[in-house]
Amino acid sequence: MDAVTALSASGPAYIYIILESLRGGGVKSAYARHCHLLAAQMALGAATMVLETGSHPALLKDAVTHGRLHHRRHPRTGRRRLRVTLIKAVMRAAQRAKELASS
């Protein structure tokens, strides 16, 4: 139950960070007009695809990128930064939910 709390309570903040970052990339790429709305519509479409197809997000990602999406890797560890950061954040939020439930 703590993991459910972590995902449902903290998840929107992670999505907002991703949307904010995509908007920033759009602005830096000289497309400033309504970047946040374009990013939000894209996220809605991606989420809808997962819900409607029941497919694992990794399969959908690979279909869209044809396996060519290169994630930024940490220079020292070589680990994928975004994925590892989000996984750790959900794990920390689940731990915090557990702590709050026991106090």
Query: What is the pLDDT, as a whole number, of residue 76?
Result: 67
CA separation for the pair 103, 99 (Å, rounded): 6
Domain extent at residue 81: 2-102
Global pTM exceeds 0.95:
no
CA separation for the pair 91, 41 (Å, rounded): 28
CA separation for the pair 73, 83 (Å, rounded): 10
Query: What is the pLDDT, as a whole number, of residue 78?
Result: 59
Asked whether 43 and 18 are in contact (CB, 8 A), the reply is yes
Query: What is the pLDDT, as a whole number, of residue 39?
Result: 92
73, amino acid identity:
R
More confident residue, 59 or 86: 59
> For position 54, which CATH number holds?
1.10.3730
Query: Residues 40-79: pLDDT tens digits?
Result: 999 999 999 999 999 999 899 888 877 565 555 666 665 5
Domain count for the chain, please give it.
1
